[in-house]
């Protein structure tokens, strides 16, 4: 049975060699992530072309996810290198300090509004919570703090306020320019960093549309405020990413497992895609094998129902990018063999608002109660395949379409495998026969196996699925 959980891999110097890029695609990467926090537009455009070339050679459809930087809430830089902060001593953050003028006493800020966003008693977490400061008083541009948890602090480390509440907008001027770049490179998904509400995602979608792109919107859940309105944010998105670094700092590590499970479950219930990210295989940046804790982390996300698991520095800058993808693929397969990943009560008590959604649900219910070898969704937009993929099942769903953009979009959906298929005529029986022969030709179904097919009137109109058929291969 093919692996259903998808792998997102971040590109970087470690994957730039053509043979490495092709190797990670062949090892199982379905989506590549371009981190717009690093590199220039030209670098990203070159990497996208390299991905398109590598996926063509590998015979696989690979989606491109453009990940916007979002607001930079960071400290500035130190004059003489890293400093050591000592618990109980004073340290200040100053929005008007020389960006290169940091010392043992204090450092500047990239986020100039921070003095207006904090109050005495607030807790600030630097460097993913490795340094903890308590705000004592604010004097103009300077925030005077006491060090509650010390350690070494170096340039450009991130700042979070415990419990969230910083007012930085999700989209910066850089992000707006990068959205135009994402549209120019025909990115399949665009990730919005630090959204606080549905309005942030709607703004990003409007900008993409104006730039001529219909890329899917991914909401990165990184703020405590986002968790409080998670249904609203999921509803405004095509996918959500559980970005566990900043999110864990803001809400506390002890709250993170429960929130992750809730976000994944809510996304599936609302027919959206879920990606689980951050430090999933981090030890493999420098080591050839994952830790047992990392194995458990990936497996638990799979058993929670995530559509995809994501690699960041592990593939972008790690020593073993191909080996890391291979290891993650094995772990996903192992988790998918557990019976709990193949059972579903999704929407059994719900009404359906669309005919194509009802057909998708009927197909999956039938497949899970009949000895079926495969499901074929003849699709224009990929919506039928998405709805099907919300049902936990061990039966592969093949999204057959002539549109490369639809194939790449569905590459992120759990349990969905896109295949190129062009309807050459309007005879329904012939189209069904051709679709089944496509799977047989790829060795995906055996002679005599039952296959479920969903289809419309072959009019080329999105949302036209209105029929289900069961045939023998």
- Any idea which residues carry the catalytic annotation? 33, 74, 220, 278
How many other β-carbons are positioned within 10 Å of the β-carbon of residue 309? 24
Residues 6 or more apart in contact with residue 335 via CB below 8 angstroms? 5, 298, 299, 300, 302, 303, 341
3-state SS string over 223-250? Answer: CHHHHHCHHHHHHCCCEEEEEHHHHHHH
C-alpha dist (Å) from residue 339 to 23, 242, 266, 303, 322: 31, 24, 21, 10, 29
The answer to whether the CB of 149 falls within 8 A of the CB of 97 is no
First-last CA distance in the chain: 17
Burial class (CB in 10 A: 0-12, 13-18, 19+), 101: middle
Rounded CA-CA distance 159/112 in Å is: 12
> In angstroms, how far is CA 250 from the centroid of its own chain?
19
The answer to whether the CB of 161 falls within 8 A of the CB of 119 is no
Residues 6 or more apart in contact with residue 406 via CB below 8 angstroms? 379, 380, 381, 382, 399, 418
Q: If you search the block for the tokens 């998904």, which residue do you land on?
A: 189
């Amino acid at each position: 049975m093919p692996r259903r959980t998808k792998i997102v891999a971040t590109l970087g110097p470690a994957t730039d060699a053509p043979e490495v890029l092709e190797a990670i695609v062949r090892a199982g990467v379905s989506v590549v992530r371009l981190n717009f926090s690093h590199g220039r537009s030209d670098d990203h455009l070159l990497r996208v072309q390299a991905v398109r070339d590598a996926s063509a050679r590998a015979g696989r459809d690979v989606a491109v996810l453009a990940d916007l930087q979002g607001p930079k809430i960071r400290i500035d830089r130190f004059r003489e290198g890293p400093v050591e902060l000592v618990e109980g001593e004073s340290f200040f953050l100053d929005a008007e300090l020389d960006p290169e003028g940091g010392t043992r006493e204090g450092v500047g800020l990239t986020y100039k509004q921070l003095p207006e966003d904090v109050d005495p008693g607030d807790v600030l977490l630097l460097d993913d919570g490795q340094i903890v400061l308590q705000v004592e008083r604010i004097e103009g541009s300077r925030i005077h703090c006491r060090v509650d948890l010390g350690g070494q602090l170096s340039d450009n480390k991130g700042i979070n306020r415990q419990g969230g509440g910083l007012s930085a907008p999700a989209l910066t001027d850089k992000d707006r320019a990068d959205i135009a770049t994402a549209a120019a490179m025909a990115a399949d998904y665009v990730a919005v960093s630090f959204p606080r509400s549905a309005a942030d995602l709607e703004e990003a979608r409007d900008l993409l549309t104006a730039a001529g792109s219909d890329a899917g919107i991914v909401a990165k859940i990184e703020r405590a405020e986002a968790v409080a309105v998670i249904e609203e944010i999921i509803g405004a998105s095509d996918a959500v990413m559980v970005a566990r670094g900043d999110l864990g700092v803001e809400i506390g590590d002890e709250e993170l497992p429960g929130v992750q499970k809730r976000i994944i479950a809510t996304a599936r219930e609302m027919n959206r895609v879920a990606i689980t990210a951050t430090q999933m295989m981090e030890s493999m940046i420098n080591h050839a094998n994952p830790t047992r804790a990392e194995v458990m982390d990936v497996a638990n996300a799979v058993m929670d129902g995530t559509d995809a698991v994501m690699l960041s520095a592990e593939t972008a800058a790690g020593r073993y990018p191909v080996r890391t993808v291979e290891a993650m693929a094995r772990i996903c397969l192992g988790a998918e063999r557990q019976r709990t990943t193949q059972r579903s009560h999704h929407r059994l008590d719900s009404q359906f608002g669309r005919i194509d959604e009802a057909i998708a649900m009927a197909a999956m219910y039938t497949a899970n109660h009949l000895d079926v070898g495969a499901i074929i969704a003849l699709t224009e937009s990929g919506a039928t395949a998405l709805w099907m993929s919300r049902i936990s099942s061990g039966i592969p769903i093949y999204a057959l379409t002539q549109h490369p953009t639809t194939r790449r979009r569905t590459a992120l959906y759990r349990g969905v495998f896109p295949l190129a298929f062009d309807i050459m005529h309007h005879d329904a029986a012939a189209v069904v026969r051709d679709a089944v022969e496509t799977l047989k030709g790829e060795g995906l179904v055996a002679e005599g196996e039952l296959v479920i097919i969903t289809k419309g009137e072959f009019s080329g109109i999105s949302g036209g699925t209105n029929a289900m058929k069961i045939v023998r291969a």
